[in-house]
Amino acid sequence: MNKIFLTLTILLLLVSFGNHTFAQNDDKLAVLETNLGNITIEFFPEDAPNHVANFIKLSESGFYDGTIFHRIIPGFMIQGGDPNTINGDPSTWGIGGPDERLHAEFNTIKHNRGIVSMARSADPNSGGSQFFIVQKDSNFLDEQYTVFGRIVTEESFQTLDKIAAVETGNKDNPIDPEQVRITKVTIVNRSDVSDILELPEPERTQLSTTPLTGNQKYESPEHEIRFNVPEGWLLQQPDKTQSDSPDVVAVGPKTGVMNPVISLTIQETNKRSLDELITEKIAVIQPAIDSGNLQIILQEKTTINGYDAYTTDAEGLFSSNNEQYNVKFKEIMIYNAEKFYTLAYSNGIDDFDSQLPRFIETVDSFEILSDNPSKNKSVEEGGGCLIATATYGSEMAHQVQQLRELRDNKLLQTSSGTAFMNMFNNFYYSFSPTIADYERENPVFKEAIKITITPMLASLSILNHVDVDSEQEILGYGIALILLNVGMYFAAPAIVIFKMRK
């Protein structure tokens, strides 16, 4: 009777634990031989049967032999398994793999140190051969990537740390690939490995997690930028397949229907003004607005860290994997003459506000670096605004900035004002860049321009001290100030010259 009871108890335990049962003595393990030591992996077939079978099949075929760990981020993970790394162009590392792709087998195993998980693109069902081994607990990946194994020997952990410590380049690629090459992968029986650690069952996710509140810094000498992203968010530099695709993406832990995402896209202005870029953006999103899939909440010009900027808040209904999501967006376009930088944040509409302060911190920390500390958006090489160039670095620079804000916040909020500024900009920038270039080359000429425009700036500053409540009022003030300046710069000199000649 006791024997029957014991048998039933074992069966009930096996049923109740389901996919919580783990490797036994007859299970298969993988041994990765590298130039820095061996890494031994045990598998979790009950949690990710297709991924385990795929890894074993590729290993037995010699698919991984000669590949390297091509992406190494100390304190996070090491990634390998790309056949392009055997003898391919380094620019192709990270995009290779077999033709067959795997459907995601997301499970509840936490991405703690030593976990082996399948790498993928933004498509959850895009896993192929690339995998990563977690060096430091990275629980923001939990349930978003398919865990299919873990390393199980002391040598494995030592090798993991050695690989994570090698010198890397700008794209996290190893400087010396031979240091981190996988010479051979062998599938063995568990009984063939004598030094397996006695590890507890992997930790699994709970119903709630404690959000992180710190920041991690990102700096790119290539793009001359620096900013912070929330601590614990997965920071990636995806391949830029189109000019408007993101250069940097930070993915946060999923707390609602989707993962929060912060992205940065860098594009050339090609001498287009901020107003022209705004017009183009509105034209691009207009079809989505007309179809009812996108609703604009706010669009306004502003100033971010001293740069002209344009903010868009929107929400809409979007589909993914046959499911629909209510998504909210906040996008900030920062303008800097040669380039413009678009920082964007998206999240489920119910969870949007929870991570919005983190995005604001990212925006506030955004910096455009330069080899020349005195370089500024108003004095970029190759033209620009002659007024801003003349006043740059002087006590008048603040006055010019106030007038920019006044223009953006009042004049451009009216249809007549916008039409006037478009016409004025076409005329003004037909000669302004040439004069601005000459100002940089000739300091005396720059001082002469500054003295000349001082009365004009003083007259325009009057607008900072008046209340403008209607389009008619701003037109009235604007026309009056134009006539005043025409009098100062043309009528008065003409009268003086006439009298002198007389």
User: Is the same domain home to 44 and 101?
Assistant: yes
Average of pLDDT values for 208-215? Answer: 49
User: Is the same domain home to 47 and 131?
Assistant: yes
244 in helix, strand or coil?
coil
Domain's final residue, options 368, 402, 429: 368
Question: Would you state the pLDDT for residue 134?
Answer: 96
User: Is the same domain home to 105 and 44?
Assistant: yes
Q: What is the CATH number of the domain that holds 251?
A: 3.40.1000.10
Instruction: Give the separation between CA 475 and CA 481, rounded to whole angstroms.
Output: 10
Tokens describing residue 223: 């793009």
User: Is the same domain home to 102 and 40?
Assistant: yes
Of 255, 310, 260, nearest to 285 by C-alpha is 310
User: Is the same domain home to 332 and 407?
Assistant: no
Instruction: Give the separation between CA 72 and CA 133, rounded to whole angstroms.
Output: 10
CB 453 within 8 A of CB 462: no
Lowest mean pLDDT among 22-31, 297-306, 344-353, 482-491: 482-491
Instruction: Give the separation between CA 259 and CA 89, rounded to whole angstroms.
Output: 33
Confidence bin at 398 (pLDDT 50/70/90): low
Of 224, 201, 108, 100, nearest to 150 by C-alpha is 201
User: Is the same domain home to 391 and 490?
Assistant: yes
207 within domain boundaries:
no
Instruction: Give the separation between CA 263 and CA 474, rounded to whole angstroms.
Output: 38
Average of pLDDT values for 394-418? Answer: 61
Of 188, 164, 195, nearest to 29 by C-alpha is 188
Of 362, 363, 305, nearest to 336 by C-alpha is 305
Lowest mean pLDDT among 70-79, 306-315, 352-361, 470-479: 470-479
127 vs 461, more confident: 127
Helices 415-428 and 471-486, axial angle in degrees (round to 10): 30
Instruction: Give the separation between CA 355 and CA 368, rounded to whole angstroms.
Output: 24
Tokens describing residue 225: 């930028």
User: Is the same domain home to 267 and 397?
Assistant: no
User: Is the same domain home to 157 and 106?
Assistant: yes
106 in helix, strand or coil?
coil
Confidence bin at 392 (pLDDT 50/70/90): low
Domain's final residue, options 317, 345, 368: 368
CB 263 within 8 A of CB 343: yes
320 within domain boundaries:
yes
Instruction: Give the separation between CA 324 and CA 328, rounded to whole angstroms.
Output: 13
Instruction: Give the separation between CA 68 and CA 59, rounded to whole angstroms.
Output: 14
92 within domain boundaries:
yes
User: Is the same domain home to 277 and 345?
Assistant: yes
pLDDT, one tens digit per residue, over 250-279 is 888 777 777 889 999 999 999 899 999 999
| Counted domains in the chain | 3
CB 256 within 8 A of CB 408: no
* DSSP 8-class letter at 325: E
User: Is the same domain home to 36 and 108?
Assistant: yes
Amino acid letter, 480: A
271 within domain boundaries:
yes
Domain's final residue, options 307, 333, 368: 368
Q: What angle is formed at CA 457 by the lines to CA 455 and CA 463, rounded to 5 degrees?
A: 120
1 within domain boundaries:
no
349 vs 258, more confident: 349
Instruction: Give the separation between CA 240 and CA 247, rounded to whole angstroms.
Output: 6
41 within domain boundaries:
yes
Question: Would you state the pLDDT for residue 250?
Answer: 87
CB 81 within 8 A of CB 98: no
Give strand pairing partners of 188.
29
203 vs 400, more confident: 203
Question: Torsions phi, psi of 333, nearest 5?
Answer: -95, 120
Distance of CA 312 to the CA centre of its chain: 17
Tokens describing residue 38: 């061996």
Give strand pairing partners of 346.
261, 329
SS3 content of the chain, % helix, strand, coil (to 5): 40, 25, 35
The 3-state secondary structure of 259-295 reads CCEEEEEEEECCCCCHHHHHHHHHHHHHHHHHCCCEE
Of 310, 307, 312, nearest to 288 by C-alpha is 312
CA dihedral of residues 49, 55, 60, 61 (deg, nearest 10): 120
Write down the number of H helices and E strands in the chain.
Answer: 12, 18
Return left, alpha or beta for 395; rule: phi > 0 is left, psi -120 to 50 is alpha, else beta.
alpha
Q: What is the CATH number of the domain that holds 94?
A: 2.40.100.10
- Alpha-helical regions (H) of 94-180: 154-164
What is the domain extent for residue 402?
377-501
pLDDT at 43 over 50: yes
Confidence bin at 374 (pLDDT 50/70/90): very low
Confidence bin at 459 (pLDDT 50/70/90): low
User: Is the same domain home to 347 and 418?
Assistant: no
pLDDT, one tens digit per residue, over 317-336 is 877 656 777 899 999 999 98
pLDDT, one tens digit per residue, over 107-146 is 999 999 999 999 988 778 889 999 999 999 998 888 889 9
User: Is the same domain home to 43 and 153?
Assistant: yes
Question: Torsions phi, psi of 243, nearest 5?
Answer: -65, -30
306 within domain boundaries:
yes
How far CA 369 is from CA of 266, 376, 402, in Å, comes to 14, 10, 24
Question: Would you state the pLDDT for residue 445?
Answer: 81
* DSSP 8-class letter at 142: T
- How many C-alpha atoms does 363 have within 13 Å on its Cβ side? 24
Amino acid letter, 136: K
What percentage of the chain carries pLDDT values higher than 90?
35
Lowest mean pLDDT among 307-321, 323-337, 404-418: 404-418
pLDDT at 25 over 50: no
Instruction: Give the separation between CA 325 and CA 322, rounded to whole angstroms.
Output: 10
Question: Would you state the pLDDT for residue 377?
Answer: 39
Top-ranked range on mean pLDDT: pick from 68-77, 283-292, 418-427: 68-77
Average of pLDDT values for 55-75? Answer: 95
201 within domain boundaries:
no
